[in-house]
Structure 1
Amino acid sequence: MCRWLAYAGTSVVLSELLYKPKHSIIDQSLHSHMGVETTNGDGFGVGWYGSDGDTPAIIRDTGPAWNNRNLREIAAHVRSPLFFAHVRASTGTAVQQTNCHPFRHGRWMWMHNGAVAEFQRLRRDLSLAVDPALYASLEGSTDSEVMFYLAITFGLDQDVPGAVAKMAGLVERLGREEGVELPLQMTIAVADGERMWTFRYSSGHASRSLFCSNRVDTIRALHPDLDFMRGVSDETRLVVSEPLGDLPGVWNEVPESSYAVVQPGHYDFLPFAPEPV
């Protein structure tokens, strides 16, 4: 599978989180502790919003993140209040730039870890459920991108949790109609430039790992020597496939079958379940 990181809060230089932590997302691309694969070298991507929160910028490449000089150069000079980073381990689709995460459509940005089981059998029916007006925007061959455009089809602009629930419901219904017992495995991050939503769900209720950072004031009290924490707001949050370090009290596991919205003044876990379509 893959590893990802999503950040929302005080504007920071990307390299502070992509490279500097002991078990950074770059380190995870080589030495994942909790992923299905130890190495995630089938491409990478970083997407970020500027201070105006408009359409995100995205860079993606098919090579491994750990030795990409352009990524290191960009990360040292770009500052953002909301950004995603993803390192890919292919589940069977081609290693090509259009299959690397994050994906973008207008102001929306999306990334995924997991899989639609037996995707090749379900791909046609899932793809045909995408709004015809959106179909031409599909560029790659991954289940993750199809899931994104299904969520847009089901009203991501109006109701993010509801649209993701309908997407998941369609995947599970079509999968089970084809005899796939456990059709869906997903941890997802999606953002619109102002807010970020994260989801953890799987048909078998044994989802891939996902962690969120603790409250900033709690981390400051536990670890007053952490330089990074001194300059960020109390509402800053990180959500990661696996912790960026082993300091006690910094990371909490995201509950199974849940979602959260990260926005000023709000950060709560709520139950998530697919909605029949």
Structure 2
Amino acid sequence: MCRLFGFRSAVPAAVHTALVTERNSLLIQSREHKDGWGIASYGPECSPLVAHGVGPAHSDPDFERVSSQVSARTVVAHIRLASVGAVEIRNSHPFHFGRWSFVHNGTLREFAKHKAAVEALIHPELRVNIKGTTDSERCFYLFLSRLGVRGPLDGSVPVESMARALAETMTLVSAMTDVPGSREPKERSAMNFLVTDGEAMVATRRNRTLFISSGIGGCPEALRAPNTDVPLQQFLVASESLCGGPHWAQVDEEDVVGVDARLVFRRWKVQTLAESVLNPRAPEPNHSSAA
């Protein structure tokens, strides 16, 4: 189990409160999720600045130092409670490739048993970039493989393509790892994913809690309503409500949520996005190097 956080804003903004001083900040949560941390922030460059640590965020001065210095339009952060893979830098989230950053809260059920099958779904040009031993990093490169079906990874990618690639990743992995027909949490893989290219940001909920907000003073009803295409000034995603305030809305199970580059909010169902994922005649991915 881990905890994740994502932030998108129309203008650069600080995230120190969410990461350090909020009542339920990631620093507070790291007393339980103590096996490393990571922060990716996007400035003028396409690729993110990424900082990692392997100790508990609450006792690592670098976590607060980095958090206090970050002011950006896009930030992804993660604190880890190791379930698959040793506690070491190469297993710390966010994982990144070119302009893409990815974090995962959850665990693939019986990953050791299914590791080879998951890796077989990753395009060879991407598979060689795997550095660590986690299920999460493999899910990231499977996502990039599915996204590469739709166009170059270093080109402009519509938010719906990102959502479909995440939903397909979840569907392929769950088909391998879940106990067939079971709804018991312990018999299903947990896959809360969060991914961004610095412009669009998309998150999924499966077998873990996930909350979203449009910021203090934002309208949570707009994020709960069935209609989407809601323009926002800010978009926040977190495994837990960071303050317990009314501006946080819980994401439904098997939902995909996100914002495009213009901060327009969207919501989808995993099943709708991934209807044809098991089609063996899918086109070969078009991978353009972004590393």
Pairwise TM-score range, normalised by the shorter structure: 0.7 to 0.9
The alpha carbon displacement at 1:187 in A equals: 0.9
Q: Which residue of 2 aligns with 1:251?
A: 248
Q: Deviations over 1:129-150 (max 9, x none)?
A: 2111112210101111000101
Q: Deviations over 1:39-89 (max 9, x none)?
A: 100111111101x25101111111110011122222222211110111100
Write the letter of the residue equivalent to 2:40.
Answer: G
Write the letter of the residue equivalent to 1:188.
Answer: F
Write the letter of the residue equivalent to 1:111.
Answer: V
The alpha carbon displacement at 1:235 in A equals: 1.7
Map of 1:212-223 to 2, 5 A cutoff? Answer: 212-214=212-214, 217-218=217-218
Q: What is the rounded CA distance, in whole Å, between the counterparts of 2:19 and 2:4 in structure 1?
A: 10
Closer, same or farther: CA 216–262 of 1 in aligned 2, 3 Å: farther
Q: Deviations over 1:119-178 (max 9, x none)?
A: 0000012112211111221010111100010111112545212212222222123336x9
Q: What is the rounded CA distance, in whole Å, between the counterparts of 1:119 and 1:180 in structure 2?
A: 19
Q: What is the rounded CA distance, in whole Å, between the counterparts of 2:218 and 2:14 in structure 1?
A: 23
Q: Which residue of 1 aligns with 2:123?
A: 131
Residue 185 (structure 1) aligned with residue 190 (structure 2): yes
Closer, same or farther: CA 271–63 of 1 in aligned 2, 3 Å: same
Q: What is the rounded CA distance, in whole Å, between the counterparts of 1:180 and 1:87 in structure 2?
A: 32
Q: Which residue of 1 aligns with 2:226?
A: none
Gaps of 5+ in 2: 221-230, 280-291
- RMSD (Å) for aligned C-alpha atoms: 2.3
Closer, same or farther: CA 110–180 of 1 in aligned 2, 3 Å: farther
Q: Deviations over 1:225-277 (max 9, x none)?
A: xxxxxxxx952011110011123x22110111111121325113221124325
Give the secondary structure class of the aligned counterpart of 2:101: strand
Residue 84 (structure 1) aligned with residue 42 (structure 2): no
Give the secondary structure class of the aligned counterpart of 1:76: helix
TM-score calculated relative to the size of structure 2: 0.79
The correspondence for 1:44, drawn from 12, 20, 37, is: 37
Residue 145 (structure 1) aligned with residue 137 (structure 2): yes
Write the letter of the residue equivalent to 2:120.
Answer: L
Contact 1:53 1:193 in 2 (8 A): no
Closer, same or farther: CA 215–246 of 1 in aligned 2, 3 Å: closer
Residue 261 (structure 1) aligned with residue 258 (structure 2): yes
Map of 1:161-180 to 2, 5 A cutoff? Answer: 161-175=163-177
Q: What is the rounded CA distance, in whole Å, between the counterparts of 1:266 and 1:6 in structure 2?
A: 15
TM-score calculated relative to the size of structure 1: 0.83
